[in-house]
Amino acid sequence: MPGTAFDVRVDEIDGVVTLRMTGDVNRGAQEPLERAYSGTTGGSVVLDFSDVDYINSTGIAVIVGILAMARAAGREVRAFGLTDHYRQIFQITRIADFMAIYDDENTAVAAG
Amino acid sequence: MTEERIEPTVPADKANWAPHVERLAAGGVNVGGRRLNGPQQGFGPMWQKTYKVRIPGVAPERVISEWKANYGSFWPSHSRFNAPVAGIQPGEVGNIQSMQVLSTGIMVLYTDDTSFSFMTPEGHPFAGWITFSAYDDGGTVGQVQLIIRPSDPLWDLVFLFGFGKGEDMMWQHTLRSLAAHFDIRTEPETNLVKVDKKRLWRNARNITKNSAIGSAIHILGTPVRALRRPS
């Protein structure tokens, strides 16, 4: 259920940046997620949704903002840890057309 | 060891989202049969446009409830929104008529008590989402946020030559009307951010679905359709 504050942690290994999100991806996620992304440089970006329980339509727009910034910088974005429900939402919103979604972290990181 | 994620049978927010559709079944000219486009399916530079108005003393839930119920009446007189019969509900399609000539529409992507979002079909002037929300920020704020790209090279040109400003004026008018609905006279704030200045040339073919061209063909074909109609 919604109501968990958003947080994000950045891991960077071998040029792959992983943004580990926890809590709800909604309006409150925009500023911390953009700040976390802006603090990274270099190669691919992997979004970890394993500890995300809720995403609303504003949160989808936040994710697309990150996707657009990364693509403008020539950085590939991949994702893992989405529930089946949110995988379907990513298909409805057509984010899945531009961001490969994987079942687990190892596959997502290795895909680059 | 990988922990298996156990999902509830029915996600709590499933009813808030539109079901997946390949193409819109319902809708008028330039809507039925079209696919939905997010901003990454558009062509021109990507913008995040945010318009806000302060509506103190009115709960966010009430703002959204009234906004959904009176959505089209807040628009400027040159544009008309034909709301879905079922109202602003996930998966419903609304038709838009602008300047008497341009026909297009939207699908309701998401709704909850404090927000609702639309997604545009192929051919719409822009590709992306519009989210309408109300929230507390030291008093209630009503907000429209677009995350969009002009859909094709023709719409990109039209945006460059004034349609973008017209878009701003439309949403500012909408927010003024929304505030006035609650007897508040105030001016909206506008914040425009170019998220990605690149044009997505792979999507230039979107022009084949351009709603202005489609509307013009539809209007020119009216006499022919009238002649074919059995008397």
Chunked mean pLDDT (size 10), chain A, 112 residues: 86 92 93 95 93 91 88 91 94 88 93 80
- Residue B5, CB-side half-sphere exposure with 13 Å CA sphere: 14
Answer yes or no: is pLDDT of B215 > 80: no
- Residue A2, CB-side half-sphere exposure with 13 Å CA sphere: 17
Pick the closest to residue B145 from B137, B136, B133 (CA basis): B133
B131 with A58: Cβ contact below 8 A: yes
Q: List domains and CATH numbers for chain B.
A: 37-195 (3.30.530.20)
Residue B191 pLDDT grade (very low, low, confident, very high; cuts 50, 70, 90) = very high
Handedness of CA B197, B202, B205, B211 (dihedral sign): negative
State the nearest Cα–Cα gap between B196 and chain A, in angstroms: 6
Residue of B nearest to A54 (CA): B13
B11 with A50: Cβ contact below 8 A: no
Residue of B117, B118, B202 to mutate for A, most A C-beta atoms under 10 A: B117
- Is-contact B103 B217, C-beta < 8 A? no
A64 with B41: Cβ contact below 8 A: no
pLDDT in tens, B86-137: 899 999 998 888 766 788 889 999 999 999 999 999 989 999 999 999 999 9
Report d(CA A65, CA B193) in Å as an integer: 11
Identify any residues that bridge with A24 across adjacent strands, giving them in sequence order. Answer: A54
Report d(CA B102, CA B79) in Å as an integer: 9
Write the CB contacts of A73 (distance below 8 Å, at least 6 apart in sequence). none
* Two tokens, residue A76: 């590939």
Pick the closest to residue B93 from B42, B150, B32 (CA basis): B32
Q: Does B5 touch chain A (CB under 8 A)?
A: yes
Each domain of chain A, given as residue ranges in start order, spans 7-110
Task: State the count of interchain CB pairs (< 8 A) between A and B.
Answer: 88
Say which CATH class A7-110 falls into. alpha beta
